[in-house]
Structure 1
Amino acid sequence: MKPIELGRMRVHKVHEMDSPTPLLMNLPGVTAEDITRMRRWYDAPGEIHPDPEQCLMTFGVHSWVIELDGKRILVDACDGNHKNRSIEAVHQLDTDYLGNLARAGFQPEDIDMVMCTHLHFDHIGWNTRLESGHWVPTFRNARYVFGQKDYDYFKANPEGEAVHFEAFQDSILPVMEAGQGELVEADFCAHREVGNGVWLEPAFGHSPGNVIVNAQADGAPAIFWGDVIHHPIQMIRFDLPFAFDADPAAASRVRQEVMARAADEQIMCFPAHFRGTSAGHVQRDGEHFRYDWVRE
Structure 2
Amino acid sequence: MHPHPSPDRPAGSPASTTAAAHRTAGSAPAWAVGSTPVHRVDEIDFPPETGAWLLPDATPDVVARAPWLTPDFADDEGVLRASSHSFAFTVDGRRVLVDTGIGNGKQRAMPAWHQLDTDYLDRLTAAGYPPDSVDLVILTHLHADHVGWNTRLENGTWVPTFPHARYVTTRTEWDHWASVDMEESRRQMFRDSVHPVREAGLLDVVDIAEGPVVLAPGLRLLPTPGHTPGQVAVELRDSGDTALITGDAVHHPVQLAHPHLSSCADTDSALARSTRAALLASAAESRALLLGTHFAPPTAGRLAQDGTGYQLTPERPVLAQTY
TM-score w.r.t. length of structure 1: 0.91
Aligned residue runs from structure 1 range 75-90, under 5 A: 75-90=98-113
Partner of 1:280: 301
SS at match of 1:227: helix
Q: Percent identity?
A: 37
Which residue of structure 2 aligns with residue 178 of structure 1?
200
State the distance in 2 between where 1:22 and 1:3 align: 26
- Corresponding residue for residue 28 of structure 1: 56
Query: Cα gap change, 1:46/1:270 in structure 2, threshold over 3 Å: closer, same or farther?
Result: closer
Letter in 1 for 2:128: G
Give the 3-state SS of the residue equivalent to 2:122 in structure 1. helix
Aligned partners of 2:52 and 2:59 also within 8 Å: no
Cα pair 2:45 2:82 within 8 Å, conserved: yes
1:16 matched residue in structure 2: 43
Equivalent-residue separation in structure 2 for 1:189 and 1:169 (angstroms): 29
Partner of 2:15: none
Distance in 2 separating the partners of 1:149 and 1:221:
26
Q: Is the 8 A contact 2:92 2:216 kept in 1?
A: no
**AA of the residue aligned to 1:274:** F
**Structure 1 residue aligned with 2:321:** none
Which ranges of structure 1 fall in alignment gaps of 5 or more residues? none
Asked if the contact 1:282–1:290 (Cα under 8 Å) also holds between the matched residues in 2, the reply is yes
Match of 2:190 in 1: 168
Code of the aligned partner of 2:85 = H
Quote the RMSD (CA, aligned, Å).
Answer: 1.9
Question: Is 2:73–2:82's contact at 8 Å kept on the other side of the alignment?
Answer: no
TM-score by length of 2: 0.83
Q: Check conservation: 2:91, 2:216, Cα contact below 8 A.
A: no
Counterpart Cα distance in 1 of 2:266 and 2:114: 22
Q: What residue in structure 2 maps to residue 151 of structure 1? A: 174
- For the 8 Å contact 2:284–2:304, the answer to whether it is kept is yes
Q: Deviations over 1:128-169 (max 9, x none)?
A: 10100111110111011111111122234535x554432222
Which is bigger in relative contact order (C-alpha 8 A, separation at least 6)?
Answer: 2
1:239-262 residue CA offsets vs partner (Å, 9 max, x unmatched): 122110000000011111111111
**Whole-angstrom distance in 1 between the partners of 2:73 and 2:316:** 21
Question: Could you tell me whether the CA contact under 8 Å between 1:148 and 1:184 is conserved in 2?
Answer: yes
- Distance change in 2, residues 1:248/1:162 (3 Å): farther
Question: Shift in Å at residue 11 of structure 1?
Answer: 0.8
Whether the 8 Å CA contact 1:116–1:123 is kept in 2: the answer is yes
2:68·2:311 contact (CA, 8 Å) conserved in 1? yes
Q: CA deviation at 1:45?
A: 7.5
In structure 2, stretches of 5+ residues that fail to align are 1-27, 318-323
